Chains A and B, each alone.
Chain A
Amino acid sequence: QKEVEQDPGPLSVPEGAIVSLNCTYSNSAFQYFMWYRQYSRKGPELLMYTYSSGNKEDGRFTAQVDKSSKYISLFIRDSQPSDSATYLCAMSAGAGSYQLTFGKGTKLSVIP
């Protein structure tokens, strides 16, 4: 079983739709959960950062962590063409940990 599973897509939605992106994981030691956004031919950029279980909201983006189910989600409300990118989930076991475990990314296209 892979440590982090993420559906690669591609996912195509109309502008204005609510987008749901998900990752599952197997390592119960993970406590820090991240979502990175990567535009084509660019490096990933940190989008959302969450510690332990719960929700975090930032504008149109909501990150959700359910540690009991080992499941994390990123919701994008009122999606825009500028949201078209690959979204990578990432996880870490500790604050001082050097290692991040990444999902393989989901490619999202928002169609005008």
Chain B
Amino acid sequence: DVKVTQSSRYLVKRTGEKVFLECVQDMDHENMFWYRQDPGLGLRLIYFSYDVKMKEKGDIPEGYSVSREKKERFSLILESASTNQTSMYLCASSLFGLAGRFLFGPGTRLTVL
């Protein structure tokens, strides 16, 4: 059963902490994405990657960085967590050339106190 997994379902961190969110896919997909989802704002793209070690900024990259050292793994890093980064974080992957056929992970609900 193909899937995207995220390291945590729920996470609580303190302001100023460095936070790592990990995403792993087992489908050999080239593209991987990090979104955040907030009520009333919908899904917003933070970063995406179309190949190992490649990354592109999405619509809201400020305060975030990413790492893709292996094809199957895409990490989102909050260098210094702030309360306005409390959100649902969703990872997705897709094959190149199949626009929009995203497979999403279950999400990580992050609370920053």
Contact = CB atoms under 8 A, between A and B. Distances in A.
Contact of A98 (B4, B41, B43, B50): B50
B101 interface: yes
Contacts of B97: 95-96
B31 interface: yes
Nearest to A96: B97
B30 to A, nearest CB: 10
A8 B50 CA distance: 31
What interface size band does chain A fall in? 20 to 34
A42 B106 contact: yes
In the complex, which of the residues A88, A95, A97 has the most CB atoms of chain B within 10 Å of its own CB atom? A95
Interface in B68-102: 90, 92, 96-102
A42 B105 CA distance: 8
A34 B97 CA distance: 15
B99 A96 contact: yes
Contacts of A102: 42-43
A59 interface: no
Contacts of A97: 99
Interface stretch (A10-18, A44-52, A75-83): A44-52
**Interface of chain A, main secondary structure:** loop
Interface in A1-53: 8, 32-34, 36, 41-46, 49
A10 to B, nearest CB: 12
Nearest to B109: A41
A81 B6 CA distance: 28
Contacts of A104: 40-42
A88 B43 CA distance: 9
Interface of A: 8, 32-34, 36, 41-46, 49, 88, 90-100, 102-105
Given A32-B100, A49-B101, 18 more contacts: A34-B100, A43-B4, A43-B104, A43-B105, A43-B107, A44-B43, A44-B90, A46-B101, A88-B42, A92-B99, A92-B100, A93-B99, A94-B99, A96-B99, A98-B31, A99-B45, A100-B99, A104-B41
